[in-house]
Amino acid sequence: MLKEAWKVAIEALSWIEVQKLSEQMALSKTIEQLQIEDPNAIRYSYKLVCETVRRKNQIDEFIKQVIKPENLNDFNMGLQSFLRIYVYQTRSSKNWVKIDLKEAEKIAKLGRTILGWKTFRQIEHVLGFLLTQELSIIFEKSNEIEKIALQTFHPKWFVEYCINLLGKNQAISFFEANINLPPDYIRLNTLKSSELEILKNLSEESVKLKKIDFLKHVYEVTGVKKPLTQIASFQNGLFYIQDKASCFAAEIANPKPGMIVFDVCSAPGTKTSYLAQLMKNQGSIYSVDYSLRRSKVWRKEITHMGVKIANQVIADAVTSLPFRFEADIIVLDPPCTSTGVFAKQPSAKWRISPHSINKMAEIQWEMISNCADMVKPGGFLVYSTCSVTIEENEMIIEKFLKENSEFCLVEIEPKIGLPGFRGLNKCQRFYPHIHNSNGFFVAKLMKK
C-alpha cells in the first residue's frame, strides 16, 4: 500500500507542477494512468499531495536553503516531488521537532524503488541534512510579510493584499484557518425522502449531525465512521456534501414552485439540485455551462439527486445567454480565483497572481452584464463567488448598479455573514476563521 501511495503522490505532484492541475484532477489522472485500485493507497496519497502542496512555499524555501549551492530545479520533476513530500512527511507533519530515523530510511528506500537507484543517487547526499536542519534558517533574512507568508503557507502578494483588506490580525486568523479543512456540511435531499426519514437513516449509519441555524436542510457532520461518499444514504442521493455558504446562496435566491430559474455556471450541479429541491421539483430550471466535461458531471448529479425540472444548456455566459424569455430568478456563480477555498484547494494558492484577479473580474463583469436583460421586472439576480477579493465582488456590484439603474440591492435574510465592503452593507461575506465555512461573497439584486 505504502509504495503505491508514494508512487501516486510523486506522479500527481509532478502533474500539478507541470500542468498546473488541481489536486483532484492530478490524482484522478495519476490513478487512472497507474491503474491504482487500493482505496487506502489512494486516500493516503491524497493526504500526502494536499498537505505537501498546502505548505509548498515553506517546504521549497527550506529545501533551497539546505541544498545550496544546488538548486531544486537542477533535479528532474520526480526527484523534486519526492524531496517535497519527504520534507513534509519527515519534518513538517511532525512540527519540525520529532525525527524518526526508521521512517526516513523506509521512505528513502521507497524512493529508490520508485525512481530507480541511479536517478535517486542524485539526492541521497541531501536527505540527512533535510532531516536534521532547523526550520529557523528560512526566517533569518525574511521581513515581517515574508515571515507571515512562510509561517501560514500563503504567497507573499496575497498576504499583503489581505492585510490591506482585513487588517493584520484578521488576515492572520484567516490564513491560519486555511491551514485546516473546514467542517463537512451536508444538505439533506427532500426530493428523495422526508427530512425525518433521512435523519433516521443517517443515525443508523452512525453519522452524527448538528443542525445549522437559519438554514433549511443543512447540517454539520460531527461524527462519522467511514468516508461520507461510502455511506449508503449518499449513494442513494439522500444527501449532498455542500459547504454551508454555498447552501446559503441558493436559499436566499428563494425560488418558488412554478418559477423559471436560470442557473448560470451550473456545473457540477450543486446549485441546480438545491434550487430544484426548494422548488419541490415544480417549475423550470435552465442550467447554463460551457464545459462539456463538467456538464457530464452535472447530468450524473442531477439524475442522482432526483431532479426532474432541470434543462441543460451548453453555452458561454461570457458571450450571451441563449434565451428568448426572461427568468424570475437568475443565480450566477461565475468562475473566480477561489481565494475563499484555499483550505480545500491549496494548489489554487500557487496558481493565481494579482493579474488573475483582474482577469477573473473581466469575465465576471461580462457574465453579470449578460444576465441583466434576462431578469423579469420584479425578478432577482443572485451573484456569488468563493473569493474574498473586492475586485471580484463589491467592485463588480458597484459597477453593475451604476450601469443598470433598474436594479437595486435588497436585504439578505438571514444575516449570517458579515456586511460587504465599500458601503455595500446589504451584501454578505463569509470567512473560514469566523464562520467555519469557505470564504464567500453573495449579493442579491432586484430588477425594479
State the amino acid at position 428 in one-letter form: Q
CA–CA distances in Å: residue 171 to residues 141, 325, 341, 349: 23, 44, 15, 15
Q: Is 336 a catalytic residue?
A: no
Residue 65 burial by Cβ neighbours in a 10 Å radius (0-12, 13-18, 19+): middle
- Please, what is the angle between helix 124-132 and helix 101-115, to 10°? 150
Among the listed residues 247, 336, 386, 427, the single catalytic one is 386
Task: Please say whether the beta carbons of 78 and 91 come within 8 A.
Answer: no
Residue 321's contacts (CB-CB under 8 Å, 6 or more residues apart) are: 262, 264, 288, 315, 370, 371, 374
Angle in degrees, CA 317, 323, 327, rounded to 5: 90
Task: Please say whether the beta carbons of 345 and 318 come within 8 A.
Answer: no
What is the rounded distance in angstroms from the CA atom of residue 385 to the CA atom of residue 389?
10
Question: Which residue in the block uniquely carries the three cell numbers 467511514?
Answer: 226
Chain-centroid distance of CA 337 in Å reads: 10
Task: Please say whether the beta carbons of 111 and 3 come within 8 A.
Answer: no
- Active-site residues, by number, are 386
